[in-house]
C-alpha cells in the first residue's frame, strides 16, 4: 500500500475542525502514534533482546510529547516575543485555520529538531557506529548525526535544520550537546520559537532492554530569559523484533503539498486563491 505523506490530511482536518472537539483527536492525537494492531501484537510476541545500556540501536516509539514534558515555556525576551507573535500555529490556544497560519511544515519545510523527535507520534531509529550515532525520523525522513569521535562543537558552522551534535558516554548515560539550529523551525506545533544561538543539552538513558529515556535542556538566551528544562524525561519504547521493524517512508512532497494547499487547505480556510 502506498503511504502518502500525512501532513495534507492533518491540515485539512485542522482547517475544518479547528473549533470542534474532534480537532485535538485529528490534528494532535493525545495518544500519539499510528501503530497497527498487528504490529503491536508482533512486538509483544517477539523475543526480548539482550540488554546492553550502551546499545541504543533499533526503532523507538513514544506518544506525542513536547520537549519540556510539562514545564512552561518562557519567560520570553523582547526578541523572543516578536518571533512568538509572528508565528501563527494551527494548534494550541493561538490556533488558526492552517490556511491562515504559517507553520513551516505547511510548505514541506523540514520540522527540524527537537520538534521531530515527538511530533505526530512517529518513531525514529538509532544506528550506532564507532564514530557516530545516526538518528533517522520516520516523519519526513529527517536525519541527525551525533558525532562520538571526541570532537568538540564547532565555533562557526552554518545553521542546519537538525543542528550539529556531539556526544559522549558518562557511565551508562549518553550525553549529547548540539547547536547551529536553523531558526526557521519551531520547537513545537504551538509555534514556540528559537534562534540560531540555541543550544540543546540531552541525556539519554537506557534503563532496561525496551526503554529509552530522554531529558532535555534548551538554552537560548536571545529568546528565553532562562533555560528551558524538561520536567520529566520523554519515554520511548523499543519496537520489536529488533533489527526487523522498519520505518515507513513519509517524505513531504512539495508538488503534492502545493496542490493540496491550493485545492483543499486554502479554500477550507477561507483563503482566496491566487
End-to-end alpha carbon distance in the chain: 34
- pLDDT, tens only, 231-260: 999 999 999 999 999 999 988 877 777 777
DSSP 66-84: -TTTTPPP--B-HHHHHHH
Separation between Cα atoms, residue 225 and residue 227, nearest integer Å: 7
For residues 83 and 190, what is the distance between their CA atoms, to the nearest angstrom?
13
Torsion-angle region of 243 (φ positive above 0: left; ψ -120 to 50: alpha; else: beta): left
Q: Rounded to whole angstroms, how far apart are CA atoms 94 and 274? A: 26
Tell me, what's the pLDDT at 274?
A: 57
**Predicted pLDDT at 174:** 98
> What pLDDT, on the 0 to 100 scale, is given for residue 28?
31
The model's pLDDT over 8-52, given as tens digits with 9 standing for 90+, comes to 444 444 443 343 333 332 233 333 456 778 888 888 898 999 999
Cα–Cα distance, 143 to 217 (Å, whole number): 21
Q: Which of 82-86, 91-95, 131-135 has the weakest average pLDDT?
A: 91-95
Query: Domain segments of the chain: what residues?
Result: 7-268
Q: What is the mean pLDDT of the chain?
A: 85
Pick the CATH number of 7-268 from 3.40.190.10, 2.40.128.20, 3.40.50.1370, 3.30.420.40: 2.40.128.20
pLDDT confidence tier of residue 4, bands split at 50, 70 and 90:
very low
Amino acid at each position: 500500500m502506498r503511504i502518502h505523506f500525512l501532513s495534507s490530511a492533518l491540515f485539512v482536518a485542522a482547517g475544518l475542525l479547528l473549533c470542534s472537539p474532534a480537532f485535538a483527536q485529528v490534528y494532535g492525537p493525545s495518544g500519539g502514534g499510528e501503530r497497527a494492531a498487528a504490529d503491536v501484537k508482533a512486538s509483544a510476541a517477539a523475543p526480548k533482546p539482550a540488554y546492553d545500556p550502551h546499545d541504543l540501536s533499533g526503532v523507538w516509539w513514544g506518544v506525542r510529547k513536547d520537549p519540556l514534558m510539562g514545564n512552561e515555556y518562557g519567560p520570553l525576551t523582547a526578541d523572543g516575543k516578536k518571533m512568538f507573535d509572528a508565528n501563527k500555529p494551527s494548534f494550541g490556544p493561538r490556533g488558526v485555520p492552517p490556511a491562515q497560519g504559517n507553520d513551516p511544515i505547511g510548505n514541506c519545510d523540514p520540522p527540524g529538531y527537537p520538534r521531530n523527535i515527538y511530533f505526530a507520534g512517529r518513531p525514529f531509529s538509532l544506528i550506532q557506529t564507532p564514530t557516530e550515532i545516526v538518528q533517522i525520523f520516520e516523519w519526513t525522513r529527517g536525519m541527525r548525526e551525533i558525532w562520538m569521535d571526541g570532537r568538540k562543537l564547532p565555533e562557526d558552522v552554518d545553521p542546519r535544520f537538525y543542528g550539529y551534535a556531539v556526544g559522549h558516554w558518562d557511565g551508562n548515560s549518553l550525553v549529547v550537546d548540539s547547536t547551529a539550529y536553523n531558526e526557521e523551525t519551531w520547537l513545537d506545533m504551538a509555534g514556540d520559537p528559537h534562534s540560531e544561538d540555541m543550544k540543546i543539552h540531552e541525556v539519554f538513558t537506557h534503563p532496561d532492554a525496551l526503554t529509552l529515556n530522554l531529558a532535555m535542556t534548551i538554552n537560548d538566551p536571545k529568546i528565553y530569559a532562562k533555560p528551558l528544562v524538561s520536567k520529566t524525561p520523554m519515554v520511548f519504547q523499543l519496537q520489536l523484533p529488533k533489527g526487523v521493524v522498519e520505518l515507513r517512508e513519509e517524505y513531504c512532497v512539495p508538488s503534492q503539498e502545493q496542490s493540496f494547499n491550493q485545492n483543499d487547505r486554502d479554500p477550507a480556510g477561507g483563503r482566496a486563491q491566487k
